[in-house]
Amino acid sequence: MPRYRDHYTSDMNQIRDNRAKQILRAGGTIYSSSVRLPESGLCELLGYAGFDFVLIDCEHGAADAATIDALVQGCFAGGTVPVVRVLRNDETEAVMKALDLGAQGVLIPHCRTAADALRLKQSASYPPKGIRGFGPGRGSKWGLVSSADYFANVDDSILTLALVEDPEGIENIDAIAQVGLDVLWVGTSDLACAYGVPGETSHPKVLAAASRVLEACLKHNIACGFPARDIESARWAKAQGYRAIGYGCAEQYVMQTSRRFLEGLEVPSSNA
């Protein structure tokens, strides 16, 4: 009797498929949510719910290698794609670390120039295309995938995303779009702050900036991302042509749903 599990198949010695990237290539729309706390079960849950990828937020959440390691495994358990949002837009080593731990995509914040976008693209690829250092672990299934197959396919399997959330990024958007990342994501909250209307993510100034990002993405045939606050804004974004739509974070769902329940029973919050 062979010493391996009955469900062993030939695709187990190939790199993991990136469903989110496949959907984009087919012209579809991908949906995501994010996680900030170091709880892998939240990633698993969002995967079961049907999100195409989960954003592991290391800019505003718990950011260390052990956290990424656990949350990536949670994503795989729930059948979704793990994407890591690194702390800064110049973290070449952080991009490498996230990918070595099995992340299938990386998002950089505050992409202001084409050089920022190019740095991400190169950091996510091995030479000669890029500058990523070699040391894969989970991405190569701990050596189950042969080096030949790994190098032949891995660069093309990584999802690269950049947040455009500063006036400088808006002004440079055409050059940024020409770099050829997979997704340029509109950062409406930071744009609202930058334009002097904090919290007003639907302000005309913010939406005008978002339209410029979308126009550049359509021109250069890449996907544009938008953060939806509810079903209606998600439907609006999809109708406008946005093909990557994010919906809040798991921790917010818990708070909002909990408060709706307790407020319905007239139970005050602990801070009341």
Q: Which of 60, 110, 203, 220 is catalytic?
A: 60
What span, in angstroms and rounded, lies between the C-alpha atoms of 174 and 256?
Answer: 38
CA atoms within 13 A on the CB side of 60: 9
Residue showing tokens 């950091």:
123
Catalytic residue list contains 110: no
Residue 8, Cβ density class (10 Å: 0-12 exposed, 13-18 middle, ≥19 buried): exposed
Direct distance between the N- and C-terminal alpha carbons of the chain, in angstroms, rounded to an integer: 65
Tokens encoding 161: 């995303």
Contact (Cβ atoms closer than 8 angstroms) between residue 66 and residue 101: no
Return the active site residues: 60
